[in-house]
Structure 1
Amino acid sequence: MSAVRCLRSEDQFLCSICLDVFTDPVTTSCGHNFCKHCITQHWDTTDLCKCPLCKETFYRRPHLKINTLFSEMVAEFRQAQQKASSCSSDQQAAKPGEVPCDVCTGTKLKALKSCLVCLLSYCDSHLEPHLTMSRLKTHQLIHPVDNLEDRMCRKHDKPLELFCKTDQTCVCMLCSVLDHKRHKVVPLKQGYEGKKAELGKTENEIQQMIQKRRRKIEEMKESVKMSKDAADRQIAEGVQVFTALMESVERGLNQLIKEIEDKQKIREKQAEGFIKYLEQEVSELMKRSSEVKQLSRSEDHLHLRHSFSSLRAAPPTKNWTEVSVCPPAYEGTVVRAVTQLEETLRKDMKKLLKAELKRVQQYAVDVTLDPDTANPHLILSDDGKQVHCGDVRKKLPDNPERFSKYGCLLGKKSFSSYCFYFQVQVKGKTDWDLGVARESSNRKGNITLSPQNGFWTVWLRNGNEYKALAGPSVRLSLHSRPEKVGVFVDYEEGLVSFHDVDTAALIYSFTGCSFNDKLYPYFSPCNNDGGKNSAPLIICPVNQTV
């Protein structure tokens, strides 16, 4: 095998863990090779023995032996690599940033190794004695490094060969018997192995952190893609809806204009008939007037007497006293057109609300009531889906999570990202509160429900008074009394909306909210009011058939 060929196949002789040429190579049952020390250390820092390359799991830790054949191939590769280096070492002058040979005179060649015993760095030719002389073969060679003098004890000018565990510092032999004689001192290699093991553990932790962040990056990219797709769909739906609305408005306007113009044409046609008839009568009258004038100027007594009877009276005409062209009655025309348009818009709006409710129902979550947060007057069902207010205050531990004064409680599960939706049956109740609450909101003593205090809620009082507790509260005018209320939260968008599930009508929306904490579903069935409000709040499953 030629040196060039060996160099071209260098990757197959590199351990995938330390990224250096194999030392004591071993082969796993899955067929991959590693340095014995590298794979052993890797498995020491993991719960399961897995191949770092193919991730095959070994449920029993394999007993690894050095691959003799492959080890020989690695040795041949090392020799070929050294020969290849020697062939080109004459041209390898040390570049800026590279470690130069300490022995070279004149042009300093690039160092291949540094000796921790000699505290010198050597190029290929000057390294030869360390590879051939038995006395120098025992020296520890490492990748070339600068500042080898830093490896000498500044106080005793001796190599730093030991590690003081007490002071966590490298020391020389004299330090160990003088300044550190009562400290726990071990050979530097032992300390090195321990630190290397720690670094290996740190590296694994860093790799896990990298993987977590890469997964988070992928999640965010996927989230952005989903958001982009949703935005595109919303834009397309919006364009479609508003196009239809504009077409409807345009049709209504065209119909209004046509109706008014048709009425005007009828009046114009009627007036044209009257005018034509009047013009004919005017023409007859003018003709008779001319004849009367001529006769009155005549000197012919006989002709005057003969024609007098026929010209004395005016020609027959129509009595126009009661005839008129009344302007068309346009009153109410615009109002009727707008009313019709409003009805069309109301139908379209209802379709939109149904579509919106279906969209948010896709984020439905399973909500169960948390008894540890429930006020002692509240009574929960065994399945944690229903709650009503009792007349007796139970003796319960006053833990920090529990509402102490008002009949409130929260759901068990919290939410701090994305979207979620749940719906509650309020049928038969005259008073109730629903919404979400911040984890850090106050639960003891007097509580004011408002976003400033960490509550986003709507309530019903006296059977017909609906309010959004927006601080200050907003009175709500609902077309119908909801029997089932849906609550939707978009955490990132800062949105909390309430829906009448049966009619798909939007009850109220809190927008621009800043949560900055975990959110819990919030419930209050309110007091019994002598049995008038005894019906329970019931968390009901989502049925997307609206």
Structure 2
Amino acid sequence: MATAIDVSRHLQCPICKNLFEDPVTMGCGHSFCQRCLHQHIRMSNQQCLLCQEPVYTRCSVNAALKAILQDFLHVQMADLSLYTGERGEIPCNICDENLPLRAVKSCLTCLLSYCERHLKSHQSLERHRGHKLVSPVERMDEKACRVHGRPLELYCKRDKRLMCTLCLKTGEDVVSLETERKEREAEQQNTIKGLESMTNQSENKLEDLQNNFKEYMAQIDREQREIKEVFAEVMDVVRRAEEDLLAPLEDGRRSLEKEEAEKTQQIKNKILKYREIIDQLNQNKNEQDDIYFLQSYPSVPAELKDDWTVSIDTELKFGSMKNINSSALVSIRTHLEKLFSFEVLIMDEETGNQSPELSQDGKKEEAK
């Protein structure tokens, strides 16, 4: 019967430690991946990594070695998914470290991970029958006692820590990990129920708070609209009162302007007339001929005086203005009284309920 030989270690590149990819063989006989060898030559002296023999020529792909590699992959590694290589995969601790299979189980007693083949060997031994197997676990060393290196199998209730059998001292209250887990699971379930109950209560409070908040905001919006309407009416009353008060003043202004223009023109006419008489008198007084002086003497009024006084009627009838003012104040007071029934609601910080509000007649109502 032919004996199987593991040739995988001979098909690995000494540089990348993986199976050859486009293998090339140097003059010294050592083989490398073509890409790995080129990178090595660029970064260091042109010599073999293993024996330091100089490299004189550019190496070509070793066709024979590549064919052997392909046959190996087809026959020996038909199912590549059994081998580790992806990040996060846990390798078998028993396989060759250069090409380990992917672990399918971890033993919490042995603190080792096993592939399918080595797991069968592990389970075939009678002393391993009671070992606890779980899905592959990373960092198995964390599950061992740091002092004695043995599996952590016990839990100390007093110190609340995991320990191995060698850590156990007389009189310590210890239980198995399975027993402690059952107690913790029961406690965990009760904690979950309590938290779920508190979550439901909090959600109900949140819903009440949001509903009250919406009602509160709606109340604010409504009162804002009402207040704006009241002040719009007040401003309209003020505007109309302003127009009513300014109207007679504008009429008075126009009357005064007219009267001022008329009297100004009258005064100017009088001044022109007086200046003409003065000119005539000045001309006459220089006349040498007595007869002509008397014949050309201008006609002058017997008495020079103004027969009217210069005055402007500035009397305003404030009685009507007072009536307009009183009427406007009454109307404004009526509109402003609507504001007395407004009161902003305040939500309780803990319950989310609203404080009492005032009705339109000013009486308090109990919050609902």
CA gap of 1:99–1:90, structure 2 versus 1, over 3 A, is closer
What do the CA deviations read for 1:265-319 (whole angstroms, capped 9, x no partner)? 21221222223334444444555555666666494848946x87x9253599972
Q: TM-score, normalised by structure 2?
A: 0.53
What residue in structure 2 maps to residue 368 of structure 1?
Answer: none
* Counterpart residue identity of residue 193, structure 2: N
What residue in structure 1 maps to residue 98 of structure 2?
Answer: 106
Distance 1:298 1:253 in 2: 72
Whichever structure has more strand as a proportion of its residues is 1
RMSD of equivalent CA atoms = 5.2
What residue in structure 1 maps to residue 111 of structure 2?
Answer: 119
**Residue aligned with 1:114, SS:** strand
Q: 2:251 aligns with which of 262, 277, 282?
A: 262
Verify: 1:88 aligned to 2:81, yes or no: yes
- Report the alpha carbon displacement of residue 213 of structure 1 after superposing the two structures with TM: 4.6
**Residue aligned with 1:271, SS:** helix
Q: 1:420 aligns with which of 340, 355, 362?
A: 355
**Residue aligned with 1:320, SS:** coil
On the 8 A contact 1:270/1:325 being kept in 2, the answer is: yes
Q: How does 1:62-461 map to 2 (within 5 A)?
A: 88-90=81-83, 92-95=85-88, 100-104=91-95, 105-106=97-98, 111-123=103-115, 126-127=118-119, 139-149=131-141, 151-152=143-144, 159-163=151-155, 170=162, 179-180=170-171, 186-213=175-202, 252-253=241-242, 255-287=244-276, 297=287, 299=289, 301=291, 304=294, 311-314=299-302, 319-321=307-309, 323-329=310-316, 343-354=330-341, 356-357=342-343, 360=345, 418-421=353-356
On the 8 A contact 2:107/2:131 being kept in 1, the answer is: yes
CA gap of 1:294–1:240, structure 2 versus 1, over 3 A, is same
Distance 1:172 1:92 in 2: 34
CA gap of 1:186–1:290, structure 2 versus 1, over 3 A, is closer
Once the two structures are aligned, what percentage of the paired residues are identical?
A: 26
On the 8 A contact 1:281/1:317 being kept in 2, the answer is: no
Distance 1:106 1:250 in 2: 97
Distance 1:299 1:267 in 2: 52
Whichever structure has more helix as a proportion of its residues is 2
CA gap of 1:542–1:199, structure 2 versus 1, over 3 A, is closer
**Residue aligned with 2:355, SS:** strand
Q: TM-score, normalised by structure 1?
A: 0.39
What residue in structure 1 maps to residue 54 of structure 2?
Answer: none
What do the CA deviations read for 1:75-95 (whole angstroms, capped 9, x no partner)? xxxxxxxxxxx8634354344
On the 8 A contact 2:91/2:103 being kept in 1, the answer is: yes
Q: Give 5+ residue unaligned stretches, structure 1.
A: 1-85, 366-413, 423-485, 487-498, 505-539
* Counterpart residue identity of residue 103, structure 1: I
**Corresponding residue pairs, total:** 285
**Residue aligned with 1:311, SS:** coil
- Report the alpha carbon displacement of residue 257 of structure 1 after superposing the two structures with TM: 4.6
Q: Give 5+ residue unaligned stretches, structure 2.
A: 1-78
On the 8 A contact 1:94/1:100 being kept in 2, the answer is: no
**Residue aligned with 1:325, SS:** coil
* Counterpart residue identity of residue 271, structure 1: E
On the 8 A contact 2:108/2:134 being kept in 1, the answer is: yes
CA gap of 1:278–1:167, structure 2 versus 1, over 3 A, is closer
On the 8 A contact 2:209/2:352 being kept in 1, the answer is: no
What residue in structure 2 maps to residue 433 of structure 1?
Answer: none
Distance 1:343 1:285 in 2: 59
**Residue aligned with 2:195, SS:** helix
Distance 2:226 2:117 in 1: 77
